[in-house]
Amino acid sequence: MSHPCTPVHQPAIYILFYKKQYILCNMNSATHRVGIIGFGKEGRSLFNYLKKSKKYKNSDFWILDKNPKIEIPKNTNSQTGKSYLKNLDKFDTLFRSPGAHFLLKEIQHAKKKGVKIESATKLFFEEIPKKKIIGVTGSKGKGTTATLIHKMLKASGKKVILAGNIGIPMTDTIQKAKNTDYIVLELSSFQLQDLNTSPHIAVILDMFPEHLDVHKNINEYLNAKTNIYSHQTKDDKTFYFKNNSLTKKIASYGKGKKIGITPKENNLTKNFDIASAVAESLGVKKKTIKSVLKNFKGRPHRLEVVLVKNNITYINDSAATNPEATSAAMRTLTENQKQETKGKSFKSAVFSSKSLILIAGGSDKRLDYAPLSKTIQKEKSVKLVILYGENKNKIEKSIQESRKKIKISKSKNLKEAFKAANAFAKKSKENTTILLSPASASFDQFKNYEDRGNQFKKLVMDLKK
């Protein structure tokens, strides 16, 4: 059977209801046709920006999203549901969201047919002089590092904007960015993948396998990351961690000035070191940098101390979506055992406990859990590991292969895992920390890692009732 959109002398533009989906068909209009793939927070921001843009003034906009129930702006065409990626070659320009992988076969087919593939990230770099842009990437720690750089520059009197993967769409900031000194962008592999311009200052944090449920292999993932520096000139700069082999390797190929950073500690506080180095290179005084670090309260879901009650410390690290991030969190805690937990600041997310209960598990991203297993094997304070989620058996097997005699318990969901952790902690005579640091994505049981973290915090706060 031929495709329902096979030309049969149809009108210039028409929509066909086929297999319970509305499909865009046979567009022969002279109007410039623009498709926006993905209509989440970034897609909506992009749509609003393009509608006001002179360049796209007379364009015919289409919203393409896999959610058939997504709210579409009035008087705007849409193609949603399972067929949302059909007939992409009928567009003149496609703007993809980070969730629409650049190497998707449908996008690549459209590209081969002459369709221009754009993104909000590419648009931002076209509109804003690169000399203003500081880009931060890595497998983990991007948000914290970008936030710290932003705070340090702002504290020094600079006009600065924070945007990107951190949750602030770049197209929301374009007009304001034209009148600022610097823009700090958190950039993911999906935003960098087809970028043809690099920021003036590139910051590359720890690199390790990540998002292998989307990227076909580690090389594709790393190649995407290289765009943060691969288009730099000798007048640009690249900051990177010298003690991470993958980071050091990919940073070596850029043309910009390379500034290697050796962190003081091999834990999450290493991001403080590289943020400080970047800020200092831009003229921020050491006194200002120290003040920002001292007062930094951290970001939600990143070693967030939720409650200390009855000698039990509850910490939410839901943003740890891979084994290396959880390992770093455990090192950060155990290397500071002698310090007392005070308040809820990031730097005080340390504990005087001799006992650690780890809650981990979630949806699998085809990652190797050996780094987590090795950390558990090394850290004597780990008394119990509670696993839940679709990958709990895979993590359990990895831990058991380390041959460490560690107690492992499996639960159906986070609520049951929390209940088991709390029961174990109450029986312990030692000060105990319950750490939610999943080492996994959240999509098997939650909307996202924020939802997971918020549900954990609710479980904790219910203890106060």
Question: Per the annotation, does 142 bind a ligand?
Answer: yes
Question: Per the annotation, does 138 bind a ligand?
Answer: yes
Question: Per the annotation, does 140 bind a ligand?
Answer: yes
Three state DSSP letters for the chain: CCCCCCCCCCCCCEEEEECCEEEEECCCCCCCEEEEECCCHHHHHHHHHHHHCHHHCCCEEEEEECCCCCCCCCCCEEEEHHHCCCCHHHCCEEEECCCCCCCCHHHHHHHHCCCEEEEHHHHHHHHCCHHHEEEEECCCCHHHHHHHHHHHHHHCCCCEEEEECCCECHHHCHHHHCCCCEEEEECCHHHHCCCCCCCCEEEECCCCCCCCCCCCCHHHHHHHHHHHCCCCCCCCEEEEECCCHHHHHHHCCCCCEEEEECCCCCCCCHHHHHHHHHHHHCCCCHHHHHHHHHHCCCCCCCCEEEEEECCEEEEECCCCCCHHHHHHHHHHHHCCCCCCCCCCCHHHCCCCCCEEEEEECCECCCCCCHHHHHHHHHCCCEEEEEECCCCHHHHHHHHHHCCCCCEEEECCCHHHHHHHHHHHHHHCCCCEEEEECCCCECCCCCCCHHHHHHHHHHHHHHHHC
Task: Report the distance separating Cα 146 and Cα 240, nearest Å.
Answer: 14
Question: Per the annotation, does 141 bind a ligand?
Answer: yes
Residue 415 · residue 267 · CB < 8 Å: no
Q: At what angle do helices 270-281 and 286-295 cross, to 10 degrees?
A: 150
CA-closest candidate to residue 240, choices 223, 256, 219: 256
CA-closest candidate to residue 331, choices 384, 272, 379: 379
Q: Residue positions in the annotated binding site for ATP?
A: 138-144
Binding-site residue set? 138-144
